[in-house]
A and B are shown apart, each in its own frame.
Chain A
Amino acid sequence: MAGETITSSEYIKHHLTNLTYGNLPAGEFCDGHQVVSHAGWQLAECSEAAKAMGFNAIHLDTMFWSIVLGAIFLFIFKKAADVATSGVPGGLQNFAEWVIEFIDQSVRGSFAARNDLVAPLSLTIFIWIFLMNLMDLVPVDVIPKISMLLGIHFMKVVPTTDPNATFGMAIGVFLLVLFYSIKIKGVGGFVGELTLQPFSSSNPLVNALFIPINFILEFVSLIAKPVSLALRLFGNMYAGEMIFILIAIMYSAGTFLGLFGGVLQLGWAIFHILIITLQAFIFMTLTIVYLDMAHHEH
Chain B
Amino acid sequence: MNINLTLIGQLLTFVVFVWFTMKYVWTPIMGALEKRRKEIADGLAAGERGQHEQVLAQERAKEVLRDAKGQASDIVMQAQKRAAEIIDEAKVSARTEGERILTAAKAEIEQEVNRAREHLRERVAVLAIAGAEKILRKEISATAHQDIVDSLAREI
Contacts and interface: CB of A to CB of B under 8 A. Distances in A.
Interface in A104-148: 104, 116-117, 119-121, 123-124, 128
A101 B5 CA distance: 35
A163 interface: yes
A53 B4 CA distance: 9
Most chain A CB neighbours (cut-off 10 Å) among B2, B8, B14, B36: B2
Given A80-B29, A124-B21, A57 B4 contact: yes
Nearest to B25: A77
A63 interface: yes
Interface stretch (A25-33, A165-173, A177-185): A165-173
Interface residues of B, number: 33
B26 A120 contact: yes
Interface string B1-20: 11111111111011101101
Contacts of B39: 86
B32 A84 contact: yes
A163 B1 contact: yes
Nearest to A117: B22
B81 interface: no
Contact of B10 (A57, A82, A116, A168): A168
A120 B18 contact: yes
Contacts of B9: 58, 63, 164, 168
A169 B4 contact: no
B10 A63 contact: yes
Contacts of B18: 117, 120-121, 124, 172
A81 B29 contact: yes
A41 to B, nearest CB: 11
Contact of A165 (B6, B20, B21): B6
A63 B13 CA distance: 9
A106 to B, nearest CB: 14
Given A74-B20, A100-B29, A120-B21, A172 B5 contact: no
A123 B14 CA distance: 12
Contact of B28 (A58, A84, A172): A84
Given A120-B18, A128-B17, A101 B33 contact: yes
A171 B33 contact: no
A55 interface: yes
A21 B71 CA distance: 100
16 contacts: A56-B4, A57-B4, A58-B5, A59-B6, A81-B24, A86-B35, A86-B36, A116-B22, A120-B26, A121-B22, A124-B21, A164-B9, A165-B6, A165-B10, A168-B11, A169-B14
Nearest 10 CB-CB pairings of A with B: A168-B10, A164-B6, A86-B35, A120-B22, A84-B32, A120-B26, A86-B36, A81-B28, A168-B11, A59-B6
Interface of B: 1-11, 13-15, 17-18, 20-22, 24-33, 35-36, 38-39
